[in-house]
């Protein structure tokens, strides 16, 4: 790949915040230190005094005939669409085919207001509209955005709490660098709600006055809401079209603190590692960085930890670097923060001006950097870092530079092998019970749960604060590491990354937290449950209890989550960002989740012969660079060769009945694996008993892989494990390859969300060349 195709340009941006409904209004307010944190007016808050926040007081209607995707309108989606349109205005018509345009959305709370409406209706004995359930998950928001812009490339959602927006930008840049897309709309969104305010109030994290980041006078954070988007484009396309780029996304880094559900590591070492990774990815050093747009929440622990992180990452160069926090003017936008702050950093590079940290500043000896208090400063630097830190110890840093400063270093793509695995299904732990289940007939229509014992890996006190999603994920990850010959808590584990995939996420904790708040008001908010309501808390618990501190992320792509987690992990290893990554895919069921599926008419039973039979499951797979695995004489179970993703972009939110999106995903995966359709032996279908989807997939396979020897549909017998499906099918495919002489043949593994996002993996046996 040439330097030009490795470079990723930012050609346009969009934002809506409490400073206004455009990116230029955001930039003007940030540059001029205009504080837009005021009493919240649109929420009914029963307590005095009322909360303050960076509230968006007017949401403009999104332009375009496809701007209304759902009958039910969630505030988060309403906030996203105007800024999406603003960013997309920078893409000339016809420059990028719809099939080469992707979307990566980062969010912390996703459609939490829809979840609130759903659960409140159930609590009152009412019948919630099925459309409400369709707008709850992160992937639902990503797919709605994709429909409005007709994006038919990869459509993915990231949920790493307050690091989501930054993580989304980095992942989007990877998609372009690796040839999976030519342009990607990357950003984040989160909306204010009484639920979130109640949660942070219960944690005693909110300040009575606008936040004062890095100041000795700081007394807590201010919440905010809004959306920010960057349109990323392959550099050769941008330059060839004569577009005036705003900046380059030069690199990004991820890490896990493995420390605490809400607090950062006091020494800042996790965030420092993310910054180092971002600079290495960009091919830059500390002396190249002139400005840091800091996470700067205004809380006692976070600001000190970030200061130490910057000192550790930049060394002596930190004495001259300038740092500021955008949260002082718009509040903390949670999952959207990293995206909105990247917009500010991009415009700072464009205008050669570093925005200040607003508000009254009182020097703090523990925060001893140059925080640009009160006034903007002219700047002729070339590179900046935008930092994000989230619940569960998720850290992300993005390096932005002036256009064309430097191409990221070229990496020889390394083969990625499977060295450890674990599976927990309703049939029990391990492959043997799963194979027996797969060999049976159609499962019972009632849901099946997973029994597991967390005691070997989690002490009883910690277990009481964890939900089943987190506890099962910890057990699964630890078991897989042990089968890989890596002891949890060892130095080898500490250098290991972690990607978690989950479809419905922490539904149990959301229900447990919301129930008392809806019934009794915000004073009933439980501070021990609130941190578990973010999708990435399971990853945080895995990292903490297993001792993983490498690159970490959580993806939530509906029923394709596990497949995307495997693909993302393989990319991180292949690009040299990690030698080893544990992939965990887990979903657990609740009555409300089952009710949501039932009301959408996709569950088997209740006079329906066809439909999904939902089950719980957890799969963990250890991926490793082949050279590293060979060096330690690890057992190899197979290889992940490549992956591809595509979206149907249908306004109905359903599958293309011809299966064209699935066909593109399979062909993209084969290209990524440098193989051809005639090399495919078996296909492991996403099919799970939903006729419209299953028939579309079989039509796609018939066109794309006519020489495939056999198509397997084990989920028809096993049940539908939601986001775990792709990972579970990969284990079955690898087991099958190990039992039969496959020669040079590979297997294709398919996964699809209910909203038309398709992901295919190419896997090979241990001896396949």
Taking phi over 0 as left and psi of -120 to 50 as alpha, with beta for the rest, 180 belongs to alpha
Q: How far is CA 633 from the centre of its chain?
A: 33
413 by Cβ neighbours in 10 Å (0-12 / 13-18 / 19+) ranks as: middle
3-401 is classed CATH 3.40.47.10: yes
pLDDT at 399: 99
766 by Cβ neighbours in 10 Å (0-12 / 13-18 / 19+) ranks as: middle
Q: How far apart are CA 208 and CA 198, in angstroms?
A: 14
- Residue range 295-321: mean pLDDT, rounded: 98
Q: Which of 42, 108, 260, 295 is catalytic?
A: 295
Of the candidate CATH numbers 3.10.310.30, 3.90.180.10, 3.40.47.10, 3.20.20.220, the domain formed by 416-764 belongs to 3.40.47.10
pLDDT at 12: 99
Is the pLDDT assigned to residue 336 strictly greater than 80?
yes
pLDDT at 446: 56
Q: How far apart are CA 524 and CA 540, in angstroms?
A: 25
pLDDT at 647: 98
pLDDT at 410: 76
Q: How far is CA 557 from the centre of its chain?
A: 8
* Tens of pLDDT, residues 90-109: 999 999 999 999 999 999 99
H runs (alpha helix) in 537-617: 537-546, 561-574, 591-599
Please choose, from the candidates 432, 693, 706, the residue with its C-alpha nearest in 3D space to the C-alpha of residue 560.
693
* Tens of pLDDT, residues 367-422: 999 999 989 999 999 999 999 999 999 999 999 999 998 777 777 788 999 999 99
Look over the chain and give the mean of its residue pLDDT values, rounded to a whole number.
95
Go through 627-640 and write b for each residue having 16 or more CB atoms within 10 A of its CB, e for each that does not.
ebbeeeebebbbbb
* Tens of pLDDT, residues 599-611: 988 998 755 668 9
User: Which residues are CB-contacts of 48 (< 8 A; sequence separation ≥ 6)?
Assistant: none
Is the pLDDT assigned to residue 742 strictly greater than 70?
no
- Residue range 337-349: mean pLDDT, rounded: 99
Active site residue 332: yes
Active site residue 411: no
- Residue range 577-595: mean pLDDT, rounded: 97
Backbone angles phi, psi at 757, to 5 degrees: -100, 125
pLDDT at 609: 63
- Residue range 692-701: mean pLDDT, rounded: 97
3-state secondary structure 488-510: CCCHHHHCCEEEEECCCCCHHHH
pLDDT at 42: 95
Please report where in the chains the tokens 């909306």 appear, as a residue. Answer: 191
Tally Cβ neighbours within 10 Å of residue 67: 17
pLDDT grade for 636, boundaries at 50, 70 and 90: very high
Is the pLDDT assigned to residue 67 strictly greater than 70?
no
Contact 625, 415 (CB under 8 A): yes
- Residue range 279-290: mean pLDDT, rounded: 97
103 by Cβ neighbours in 10 Å (0-12 / 13-18 / 19+) ranks as: buried
* Tens of pLDDT, residues 667-682: 999 999 999 999 999 9
Is the pLDDT assigned to residue 66 strictly greater than 70?
no
Active site residue 127: no
Q: How far apart are CA 120 and CA 28, in angstroms?
A: 40
pLDDT grade for 652, boundaries at 50, 70 and 90: low
Task: List the domain boundaries for the chain.
Answer: 3-401, 416-764
- Residue range 296-307: mean pLDDT, rounded: 97
Is the pLDDT assigned to residue 68 strictly greater than 60?
no
Please choose, from the candidates 648, 672, 638, the residue with its C-alpha nearest in 3D space to the C-alpha of residue 760.
672
pLDDT at 123: 93
pLDDT grade for 441, boundaries at 50, 70 and 90: low
pLDDT grade for 444, boundaries at 50, 70 and 90: low
Element (H, E) at 536: none
Element (H, E) at 166: helix 164-177
- Residue range 346-355: mean pLDDT, rounded: 98
Is the pLDDT assigned to residue 741 strictly greater than 80?
no
* Tens of pLDDT, residues 23-35: 999 999 999 999 9
Report the C-alpha dihedral over residues 358, 360, 363, 364, rounded to 10 degrees. -80
pLDDT at 6: 76
Please report where in the chains the tokens 């079209």 appear, as a residue. Answer: 241
Structure tokens at 543: 């990292």
- Residue range 735-753: mean pLDDT, rounded: 89
Give percent above pLDDT 70 in the chain.
Answer: 96
Paired sense of beta strands 746-752 and 680-684, if any: parallel
Q: Which of 72, 108, 332, 712 is catalytic?
A: 332
* Tens of pLDDT, residues 520-567: 999 999 999 999 999 999 999 999 999 999 999 999 999 999 999 999
Backbone angles phi, psi at 570, to 5 degrees: -60, -40
- Residue range 1-15: mean pLDDT, rounded: 83
Whether the CA torsion 568, 569, 574, 575 is positive or negative: it is: positive
pLDDT at 440: 76
* Identical fold between 3-401 and 416-764: yes
- Residue range 487-492: mean pLDDT, rounded: 94
Q: Which of 72, 108, 162, 545 is catalytic?
A: 162
Tally Cβ neighbours within 10 Å of residue 458: 22
Structure tokens at 217: 């006078």
Count of residues for the chain?
769
pLDDT grade for 729, boundaries at 50, 70 and 90: very high
DSSP string, 417-486: EEEEEEEEETTEESHHHHHHHHTSSSPPSS-B------TTTS-HHHHHT--HHHHHHHHHHHHHHHHTT-
Reduced DSSP (H G I as helix, E B as strand, rest coil) percent helix, strand, coil of the chain, to 5: 40, 20, 40
494 by Cβ neighbours in 10 Å (0-12 / 13-18 / 19+) ranks as: middle
Backbone angles phi, psi at 326, to 5 degrees: -70, -20
Backbone angles phi, psi at 246, to 5 degrees: -85, -35
Q: At what angle do helices 112-123 and 194-202 cross, to 10 degrees?
A: 90
Please report where in the chains the tokens 């070492």 appear, as a residue. Answer: 269
* Tens of pLDDT, residues 231-245: 999 999 999 999 999
pLDDT grade for 131, boundaries at 50, 70 and 90: confident
């Amino acid at each position: 790949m040439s330097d030009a195709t490795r470079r990723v340009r930012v050609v346009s941006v969009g934002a809506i915040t409490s400073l206004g409904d455009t990116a230029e209004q955001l930039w003007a307010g940030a540059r001029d230190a205009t504080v837009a944190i005021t009493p919240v007016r649109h929420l009914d808050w029963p307590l005095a005094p009322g909360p303050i926040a960076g509230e968006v007081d007017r949401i403009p209607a999104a332009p375009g005939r496809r701007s209304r995707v759902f009958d039910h309108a969630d505030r988060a989606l309403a906030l996203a669409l105007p800024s999406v349109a603003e960013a997309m205005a920078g893409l000339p018509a016809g420059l990028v085919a719809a099939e080469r345009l992707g979307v990566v959305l980062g969010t912390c709370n996703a459609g939490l207001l829809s979840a609130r409406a759903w659960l409140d209706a159930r609590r009152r004995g009412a019948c919630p509209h099925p459309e409400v359930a369709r707008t709850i998950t992160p992937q639902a928001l990503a797919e709605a955005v994709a429909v409005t812009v007709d994006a038919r490339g990869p459509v993915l959602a990231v949920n790493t709490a307050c690091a989501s927006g930054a993580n989304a930008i980095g992942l989007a840049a990877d998609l372009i660098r690796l040839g999976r897309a030519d342009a990607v709309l990357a950003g984040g969104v989160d909306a204010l709600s009484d639920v979130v305010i109640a949660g942070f109030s219960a944690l005693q994290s909110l300040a009575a006055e606008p936040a004062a980041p890095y100041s000795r006078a700081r007394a807590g954070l201010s919440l905010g809401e809004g959306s920010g988007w960057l349109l990323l484009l392959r550099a050769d396309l941008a330059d060839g079209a004569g577009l005036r780029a705003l900046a380059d996304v030069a690199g990004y880094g991820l890490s896990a603190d493995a420390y605490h559900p809400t607090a950062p590591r006091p020494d800042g070492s996790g965030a420092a590692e993310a910054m180092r990774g971002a600079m290495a990815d960009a091919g830059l050093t500390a002396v190249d960085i002139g400005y840091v747009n800091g996470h700067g929440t205004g809380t006692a622990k976070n600001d000190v930890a970030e200061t130490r992180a910057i000192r550790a990452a930049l060394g002596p160069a930190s004495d001259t670097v300038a740092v500021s926090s955008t949260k002082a003017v718009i509040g903390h936008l949670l999952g959207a923060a990293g995206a909105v702050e990247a917009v500010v950093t991009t415009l700072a590079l464009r205008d050669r001006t570093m925005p200040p940290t607003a508000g009254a500043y009182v020097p703090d000896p523990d925060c001893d950097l140059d925080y640009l208090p009160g006034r903007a400063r002219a700047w002729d630097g070339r590179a900046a870092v935008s930092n994000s830190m989230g619940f569960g110890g998720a850290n992300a840093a993005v390096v932005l530079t002036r256009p064309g400063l430097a191409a990221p270093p070229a990496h020889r793509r390394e083969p990625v092998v499977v060295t450890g695995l674990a599976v927990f299904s309703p049939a029990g732990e391990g492959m043997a019970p799963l194979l027996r289940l797969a060999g049976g007939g159609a499962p019972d229509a009632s849901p099946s749960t997973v029994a597991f014992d967390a005691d070997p890996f989690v002490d009883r006190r910690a277990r009481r604060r964890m939900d089943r999603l987190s506890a099962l994920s910890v057990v699964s990850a630890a078991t897989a590491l042990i089968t890989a010959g890596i002891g949890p808590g060892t130095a080898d584990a500490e250098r290991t990354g972690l990607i978690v995939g989950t479809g419905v996420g922490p539904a149990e904790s959301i229900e447990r937290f919301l129930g008392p708040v809806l019934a009794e008001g915000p004073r009933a908010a439980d501070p021990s449950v609130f941190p578990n309501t973010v999708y990435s808390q399971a990853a945080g618990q895995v990292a903490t209890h297993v001792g993983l501190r490498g690159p970490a992320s959580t993806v939530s792509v509906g029923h394709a989550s596990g497949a995307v987690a495997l693909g993302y992990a393989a990319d991180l290893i292949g690009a040299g960002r990690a030698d080893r990554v544990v992939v965990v895919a887990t979903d657990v069921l609740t009555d409300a989740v089952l009710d949501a599926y039932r009301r959408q008419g996709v569950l088997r039973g209740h006079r329906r012969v066809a439909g999904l039979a939902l089950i719980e499951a957890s799969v963990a797979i250890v991926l490793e660079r082949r050279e590293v695995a060979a060096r330690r004489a690890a057992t190899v179970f197979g290889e992940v060769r490549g992956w591809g993703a595509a979206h149907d972009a249908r306004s109905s939110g359903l599958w293309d009945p011809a299966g064209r999106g699935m066909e593109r995903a399979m062909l993209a995966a084969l290209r990524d694996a440098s193989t051809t359709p005639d090399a495919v032996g078996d296909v492991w279908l996403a099919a799970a008993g939903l006729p419209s989807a299953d028939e579309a997939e079989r039509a796609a396979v018939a066109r794309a892989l006519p020489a495939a020897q056999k198509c397997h549909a084990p989920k028809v017998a096993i049940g539908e494990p939601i986001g775990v499906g792709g990972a579970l099918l990969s284990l079955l495919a690898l087991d099958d390859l190990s039992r039969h002489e496959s020669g040079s043949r590979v297997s294709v593994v398919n996964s699809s969300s209910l909203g038309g996002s398709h992901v295919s993996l190419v896997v090979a046996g241990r001896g396949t060349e």
